């Protein structure tokens, strides 16, 4: 029940204590947890930017409707997606599978060719929608890990994507920002920390068959 207690403890933090910073050891845990997140086909089309630079966070706050969490957090996580999933990207993934698992080509090639054909027939919009879903999986995973590590977090969609992309030069890397999550430690005067959680009863949202 420790996990449940931590999930009850977490909330969407509205104000961070600017004097407290997350240790590098805990940041490493988050990086590894991000890398271990499940993704569709195992393709990992999401790149995580971990921003601790105060000047950069302050600039990005201006592109996030001036929400104070963005500038006042210890670290700002920016989830970005690959805009292009092409033959080269998929082939590189299967080369990695072969390297790690020593799986023969005759087993890998049918699945690899299926994915290449599948993505060749997707529109740009469909690829970005698919990739964005993987970003949500990663954010959800990190929200739980943050709770277990006693790190406060605030998942956010409200920001100017083109401005973030420009500031972080994501276009040059074929990336597009889709989600942000300030993390740190709650301020003592964040009144939201003491609000009771508002949730439906478990039986209203879970169906046993």
Query: How many beta carbons lie within 10 A of that of residue 59, not counting itself?
Result: 16
Which whole number is the average pLDDT over 121-126? 96
Q: Model confidence over 175-201: pLDDT tens digits?
A: 999 999 999 999 999 999 999 999 999
Would you say residue 79 has pLDDT above 70?
yes
Write out the two tokens for 106.
């005759």
Q: What value does the mean pLDDT take over residues 72-100?
A: 98
> What is the predicted pLDDT for the residue at 153?
98
Contacts 24+ apart (CB under 8 A), 119-126: 119/85, 119/86, 119/90, 120/87, 122/85, 124/83
- Residue 1 confidence class, pLDDT cut points 50, 70, 90: low
The arithmetic mean of pLDDT across residues 96-101, rounded, is: 98
Tens of pLDDT, residue by residue over 24-66, are 999 999 999 999 999 999 999 999 999 999 999 999 999 999 9
Average pLDDT over all residues of the chain? 97
pLDDT, one tens digit per residue, over 2-15 is 999 999 999 999 99
Among 20, 22, 138, which Cα is nearest to 79's? 138
Name the region of 151 (left: φ>0; alpha: ψ -120 to 50; beta: rest): beta
């Amino acid at each position: 029940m420790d996990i449940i207690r931590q999930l009850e403890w977490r909330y969407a933090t509205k104000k961070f204590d600017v004097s407290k910073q997350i240790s590098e050891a805990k940041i490493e845990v988050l990086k590894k947890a991000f890398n271990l997140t499940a993704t569709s086909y195992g393709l990992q089309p999401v790149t995580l930017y971990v921003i601790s630079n105060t000047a950069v966070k302050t600039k990005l706050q201006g592109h996030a409707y001036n929400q104070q969490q963005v500038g006042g957090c210890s670290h700002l996580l920016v989830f970005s997606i690959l805009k292009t999933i092409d033959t080269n990207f998929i082939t590189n993934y299967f080369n990695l599978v072969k390297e790690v698992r020593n799986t023969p080509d005759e087993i890998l090639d049918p699945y690899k060719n299926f994915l290449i054909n599948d993505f060749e027939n997707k529109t740009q919009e469909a690829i970005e929608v698919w990739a964005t879903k993987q970003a949500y999986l990663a954010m959800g995973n990190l929200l739980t890990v943050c709770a277990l590590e006693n790190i406060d977090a605030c998942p956010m969609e409200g920001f100017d994507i083109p401005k973030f992309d420009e500031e972080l030069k994501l276009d040059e890397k074929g990336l597009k920002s889709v989600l942000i999550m300030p993390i740190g430690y709650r301020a003592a005067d964040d009144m939201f920390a003491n609000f009771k959680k508002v949730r439906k009863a478990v039986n209203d949202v879970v169906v046993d068959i």
